Amino acid sequence: MIDNIHKWLLLRLALLWLVLSIVIGGMVNYLGHLRMDNHIVEMAKTETASYITAIDSYLKSPSEQALSELNSKIGDQIIRDNLIAVEFYDADSNMITDAVKLHAKEIEAKLPEHGSEFVDKDGIVCNKLMIENDTYMRVFVPLLNSAGTKIGYLEGIYHAPGDIVKEIKRQTLWALILVVLLILATSMALYPLIIRLNRKLVNYTKSLALTNIGMLKVLGSAISKRDSDTNIHNYRVTLYSVNIGESLGLSQSAMQGLIKGAFLHDLGKIATPDAILHKRGKLSEEEFKIMKTHVQHGVDIVSGYDWLKDAQVVVACHHEKFDGSGYPLGLRGEGIPINARIFAVADVFDALTSKRPYKEPFSFEVSVGILRESIGSHFDPDITRLFLEHAVALHAEICNDDEPLLHVKLEMSIGKYFQ
């Protein structure tokens, strides 16, 4: 079980590490690219600003000489910065002049066409472009006069410096690696802590289970003392029921409910008067009516405690009969819960083969004969036949054992299904 816990925890921590690495790593990568884009935008804005003075001077007094001076200025400027092309337009979107670096003409030809969607923009517009694995920024800068009126705009194609892009990408990569390693380290630090907490929880669960089992034994012993002054009936019917349940392949949870129900099936007899409980003759109709109330008393007791609720079907239905003639609900066939059908066979067989205040024990042969005669009426046919296949060995193993030995066998069953 511990190995399974280790494997379960490692798989989930690995999955958590992977998911967090993808999510947080994606955020880091996104923020890194956003940082790079913002840095490039600011650089592009800074470099295009140096052209504003030149074009502004021209627009104030346009002439051939002013245009020639403008071309000279922007030609000299573009050589020194990272812009590969600049274009100047008047307020009607007519081109005034442009300048393109010689090696950039092929790049400019690959730029996507644009419309006039930026013309009405009041602020600077920047569009990021990726061409041949290089980063470019198309910048549209409005040109305003002293009155704040737009008199034209500048369009520049800015080539982001490779060393700066490379450095920002390197920083982003290292940040991403650091995040992944930190998440891994955190996951590994959590592993021993979770294992320790799990061990404490397992120990607490075992302690709680032992407490509940102790309570189960106390309740079973209490009714045994009232009914027959011995636990041995509870031990035997529980062991018979466990054998049948295992033969039927019941689940662990179903077996737990079966064991609890078998041990507490007559718990409601605590409320039955001694005069009826220990009467040595046949009960009168009124006495039998009172005796039958032990079922509801038992249900009332076990239903008040969550850990015992799975015992309720046996406590409530162990006197139901397969043909519907039982009590208290008159259930029939598979309408009777399977644990109650299993227990009914075990309970009657032990009652037949045991001494009671009102009878001596029947022989094994007579008891088996009664079970066979009651197939389909009192008992589930499949369950009864399955029990009868093992009845000889079970009777020899269980019926003649003394209380301490039966207690040991019962402890083994409890350990198998509750721990």
Q: What is the pLDDT of residues 356-410, one digit of tens each?
A: 766 788 999 999 999 999 999 999 999 999 999 999 998 888 877 677 888 788 8
Residue bearing the bigger pLDDT, 55 or 118: 55
Does position 111 have pLDDT exceeding 50, yes or no? yes
How is the chain split into domains, by residue range?
2-171, 228-418
Please tell me the predicted confidence (pLDDT) of residue 44: 67
Please tell me the predicted confidence (pLDDT) of residue 222: 72
Q: Which of 16-25, 48-57, 82-91 has the lowest mean pLDDT?
A: 48-57
pLDDT category of residue 227 using cuts at 50, 70 and 90: low
Residue bearing the bigger pLDDT, 242 or 52: 242
Q: Which of 172-186, 199-213, 269-283, 394-408 has the lowest mean pLDDT?
A: 199-213
pLDDT category of residue 1 using cuts at 50, 70 and 90: very low
Over residues 61-65, the mean pLDDT reads: 82
Check whether the bond before 62 is cis (ω within 30° of 0).
no
Residue 226, CB half-sphere, CA atoms under 13 Å: how many?
A: 18
pLDDT category of residue 188 using cuts at 50, 70 and 90: confident
Over residues 46-75, the mean pLDDT reads: 79
Does position 175 have pLDDT exceeding 90, yes or no? no
Over residues 105-133, the mean pLDDT reads: 69
Please tell me the predicted confidence (pLDDT) of residue 112: 67
Over residues 135-158, the mean pLDDT reads: 77
Please tell me the predicted confidence (pLDDT) of residue 336: 96
Please tell me the predicted confidence (pLDDT) of residue 173: 83
Residues whose CB is less than 8 angstroms from the CB of residue 382 and which lie 6 or more positions away in sequence, other chains included = none
Task: Name the most confidently modeled range: 45-49, 171-175, 362-366.
Answer: 362-366
The CATH number assigned to the domain with range 2-171 reads 3.30.450.20
- pTM for the full model? 0.57
Over residues 228-232, the mean pLDDT reads: 63
Percent of the chain with pLDDT over 90: 25
Please tell me the predicted confidence (pLDDT) of residue 207: 67
Please tell me the predicted confidence (pLDDT) of residue 151: 76
The CATH number assigned to the domain with range 228-418 reads 1.10.3210.10
pLDDT one-digit tens code per residue, 288-324:
999 999 999 999 988 888 888 899 999 999 999 999 9
